Amino acid sequence: MGVENQRAGVSPDSQQKLTVSEDSGQLLDGSVILTRLESIVNWSRKYSFFLYPFVTACCGMEFMSVAGPKYDLDRFGAALPRFSPRQADLLMVVGTISHKQAPILVKVYNQMTEPKWVFAFGVCAVSGGFYDNYATVQGIDTLIPVDVYVPGCPPRPEMVIDGLIKLQEKVAKEKFSDWPKGASPVSKC
Amino acid sequence: MEASVTLKKLKDRFPGSILETHSYRGDDTAVVKKEDILKICTFLRDDESLLYNFMMDVTAVDYIGKEPRFEVVYHLYSLKFNRRFRVKAGVSESDCSIDSIVSIWISANWFEREAFDMYGIQFKGHPELRRILLYEGFEGHPLRKDYPIKKRQPLIGPIN
C-alpha cells in the first residue's frame, strides 16, 4: 500500500496538489496564484468531506477507530459526521445491507445533495461478503453508484485511509459536467 | 417422576390424539395430531394441575422426504409448577396448514408469522398472517430445505 517516497497511497500523477499555472510565481511576488476554477473547487471538495455514516454492522467498530484520534480521518478533512443526509456529501456504507434495508439506503442516497460520493466500507458492502443468502444484498452497487470499494472483514484503518485518499484523487479529476448525476437507478424504492 | 405428570394427564384425556411421547432427560415431548392442537393446548393451559401459561416458542422443522414433511413445534412453560413441555404436530406438504393458537396464547402471534414466513405453513385463524422478517414480494420460503441456496429474489436492484 502506498508509494515509496510519497505520501501513503498518493501516486505521482494523482493531482493531489493544486494545479498551479507556471507563470503565477511572478505575480505580486508569489502572493497570487493562478489556477483553474475546476481545480480549486475540486481541491476544496476533496479536503472537506462531510460523512454520513450508514452503519449497520460490526464494521462500525472499525469506522469508529478510523474516525477517532488514533487514525484520525480529520487529517484528511473528513472528520465531521452529519446525521442528516441533506448535510452530507460522502455516504459511508459500513456493514451488511439486507434486502429489507436496501430501500432505506437508496432513500438516504437520494436525499443527499450533489455532489456526493459513496464509500463501500468492508466486504459486505462491497459484495455481500460471505453472506450469499436470501437476506443479503450482494454488494451495494446493485443499488447505488459506488466510488470507492474497501474490502476487508473488517478493513484495517489504514485501508480506509488509503481508500479515502483514492477517493480524493478521483474527486480531483472530476469535471463540473460530471454533476448532477441524478437519483439512484433503482426505481422501485 | 413429577416431570411426566403432563404426559400422563394428556394420554388419559386425549388417548386418540397423542401419536407418540418421549421424555428424554426430563424433557417431555408429545407428538399430536394437528387437528387436535387447539383442544390439547387449551387443556394444557387451563388444567389446574398443569397450567402451562407461558407459550415460549413456536417454530417448525422441515424433514424433507418424510411424511409428514413439516413439524410445528411448541414450547410451553408453566410458571406455577416450573415445568416445561414440548408439543409437536406433523404437517404435510399437500395440506400445509394447522390451527392457529393465538386465541390461546397471544404470544404465539409473531412466532406463527415467523414460521409462516420461513416455512410457508398456514396458521388457520391467525389474525394477521403475513410476513414478519422478510418483505412483501419475497418469493418462496427460505428455510425450506428445497429453497435454492443461490436463489436471487426479483428485487429492487438492477443486477440482483
Cβ proximity of A33 and A22 under 8 Å: no
Q: How far is CA B154 from CA A99, A113, A135, B158, in A?
A: 11, 29, 12, 9
Residues of B with CB under 8 A from a CB of A: 133-135, 138, 142, 147, 149-153, 155-160
pLDDT in tens, B23-73: 888 789 999 999 999 999 999 999 999 899 999 999 999 999 998 999 999
**Cβ separation of B157 and A186 shorter than 8 Å?**
yes
Cβ proximity of A160 and A62 under 8 Å: yes
Is A167's pLDDT higher than 80? yes
Is A4's pLDDT higher than 90? no
Residue A185: pLDDT band (50, 70, 90) is confident
pTM of the full predicted structure? Answer: 0.79
Cβ proximity of B94 and B73 under 8 Å: no
Task: Give the closest of A103, A135, A142 to B158, CB-based.
Answer: A142
**Cβ separation of B135 and A188 shorter than 8 Å?**
no
Q: What is the pLDDT of residue B119?
A: 94
Helix (H) or strand (E) holding B118: helix B108-119
Higher pLDDT, B157 or A161: A161
Q: Which domains does chain B have, with CATH numbers?
A: 2-124 (3.30.460.80)
Is B157's pLDDT higher than 60? no
Sheet order of strands, A148-150 included: A51-55, A90-94, A117-121, A148-150
ipTM: 0.72
The span from the CA of A133 to the CA of A117, in Å, is 28
| Chain B residue with Cα closest to A189 | B156
Domain boundaries, chain A: 51-174
| A185/B contact by beta carbon, under 8 A | yes
Task: Give the pLDDT mean for B105-111.
Answer: 94
Q: What is the pLDDT of residue B1?
A: 47
**Cβ separation of B156 and A135 shorter than 8 Å?**
no
Average pLDDT taken over every residue of chain B: 89
Cα–chain center distance at A67:
13
Architecture per CATH, domain A51-174, reads as: 3-Layer(aba) Sandwich (3.40)
Q: Which three cell numbers stand for residue B110?
A: 409473531
Backbone angles phi, psi at A16, to 5 degrees: -65, -30
**Cβ separation of A99 and B150 shorter than 8 Å?**
no
Task: Give the pLDDT mean for A117-140.
Answer: 90
